[in-house]
Amino acid sequence: MSGGDTSADSVTNAVRLAIYRAIERSGSAPGAAEVARALDLAPADVEDRYRALAGAHVIVLHAETVEIKWAPPFSAVKTPFVVRAGRSAWHAPCAWDAFGIPAAIDCDAQIEAVCAWSGARVPCGVEHGLACGDGLIHLLVPAAHFWDDIAYT
Amino acid sequence: MNSWCSDRGVVRGATMTIPQAWELSQKWYGTRLELDFRRPTKDEAQAIFESVGLTGPFWKL
């Protein structure tokens, strides 16, 4: 890898980190302009980084935009999977990712989920670093095809 | 679960327990907010699945 590529990767990585730090802090995904200001980059450059991160399956953008829909395990849009830790709360794209949030932040958390079959609440989460709660997580799409249509997955 | 799938005309997929989801999440997302994060390679991802007991054709990458 050339020095130029390493620098480009470094900037993309800084953009990724800025996105995740913002969503961790606020529950909301930052726009490219906000990240550009924070990192003193050109907005168009940051938009290209957003597209690169989406192409690498790190984040998911709303169709035909550079607005973040998901920065897995976080969701920037409301979902049935709510994760609470202390006074903070986030949405997760799916049940697996709901556990990804306390894993990413390294904290205990309460997860609010709903059984797709019965509609019953499925309280679960992480307490003292251990998983708690009952239930099974059902995945429909085989792993090799997770990203064929990640919204459906 | 079978009736849920048949009602929707979908083929039953695979399940994981909550402890498996937590262990998988720690390995999959544990470095996501760190500077040196990188997505696992295909082989690394397969090894992560296997390490938490997610094996078989459904989990084959």
Over residues A139-146, the mean pLDDT reads 89
Average pLDDT over residues A3-13: 71
Tokens of A42: 């050109």
Report which residue type is found at A149. Answer: D
Of A21, A137, A144, the CB nearest to B16: A137
Which amino acid would we find at residue A98? A
A126/B22 Cβ within 8 A: yes
**Burial (0-12, 13-18, 19+ Cβ within 10 Å), A147:** exposed
* Pair of tokens at residue A121: 């609440």
**Is the per-residue pLDDT at A2 higher than 50?**
no
B-chain residues near A100 (CB < 8 A): 25, 28-29, 32
Instruction: Dihedral sign for Cα B23, A61, A8, A28, please.
Output: negative
Confidence of residue A4 (pLDDT cuts 50, 70, 90): very low
Average per-residue pLDDT in chain A? 92
Query: What is the percent of chain A with per-residue pLDDT over 90, rounded to a whole number?
Result: 78
pLDDT of residue A118: 81
